[in-house]
Amino acid sequence: MTKRILTTKQEIADYWKDAIDTNQTNVTYKNATSHCWRCGVKKRLDRCHIRAFSLGGKDEPGNFILLCKHCHIDNPNVEDISIIWDWLHAYKFDDEKPYWYHQGVREYEYIYNESIESHLSRYHIEIREQFDKLLEETLKDVAHHFGQPRNNRATVAGAIKITLNKLDEIEDNYEQK
């Protein structure tokens, strides 16, 4: 039988307010009970144990963080509280790009063994801004898996590849002129 968690999401957010306010997560305190602390997506959140009940974890605000179901499945399941904060901080991005964009870039680099910047450096003109706009358009033509609220990393990596292929065509046309 699953033990019912009595600690509320608001109690968890209040407990970790200082960590949230010092940019240790991808949310602000204002959004801490509605957006996943790892990926930032607005979704129903799970109260995720830092130290599992089976490892002696308690039903208290300091033993939980708030994650979407996907990130809850991915989180480290270990006793050391610093590990989960290291994990959250590792996925904190200071730019305006969403978490899944960065994950797609990592996946692209893994699949194609090349960075986007390396690929773009082959062009005769600076087109990073054009790449960003074209990628945004390409991402409008992809689908989410099973009703997920965001694209998965492989989909984003595929959209990056499609976008770079389109830019290669533009570059080929430029060279032929």
| Contact predicate 106/153, CB 8 Å | yes
Using CA atoms in the order 15, 19, 80, 47, what is the torsion angle rounded to 10 degrees?
Answer: 50
What's the mean pLDDT in 92-121?
89
| Whether residue 45 is found in the same domain as residue 14 | yes
What's the mean pLDDT in 40-68?
91
Say whether pLDDT at 126 is over 80. no
- Kindly state whether residue 149 falls inside one of the protein's structural domains: yes
Q: How confident is the model at residue 1 (pLDDT cuts 50, 70, 90)?
A: very low
pLDDT for the residue 46: 95
| Contact predicate 40/27, CB 8 Å | yes
| Whether residue 167 is found in the same domain as residue 116 | yes
Last residue of a domain, one of 47, 64, 90: 90
Phi then psi for 64, rounded to 5 degrees? -135, 155
| Whether residue 55 is found in the same domain as residue 82 | yes
| Whether residue 77 is found in the same domain as residue 128 | no
| Contact predicate 63/48, CB 8 Å | no
- Kindly state whether residue 2 falls inside one of the protein's structural domains: no
| Contact predicate 129/137, CB 8 Å | no
Distance from C-alpha of 100 to C-alpha of 155, rounded to nearest angstrom: 10
Distance from C-alpha of 161 to C-alpha of 130, rounded to nearest angstrom: 14
pLDDT for the residue 2: 58
- Kindly state whether residue 43 falls inside one of the protein's structural domains: yes
Name, in order, each residue with C-beta under 8 angstroms of 83's C-beta and a sequence gap of 6 or more.
76
Instruction: Give the number of residues written for the chain.
Output: 177
pLDDT for the residue 6: 93
What's the mean pLDDT in 55-83?
90
Task: Show the domain range for 81.
Answer: 9-90
For the chain, how many structural domains are there in total? Answer: 2
* Lowest-pLDDT range of 2-11, 30-39, 88-97, 114-123: 88-97
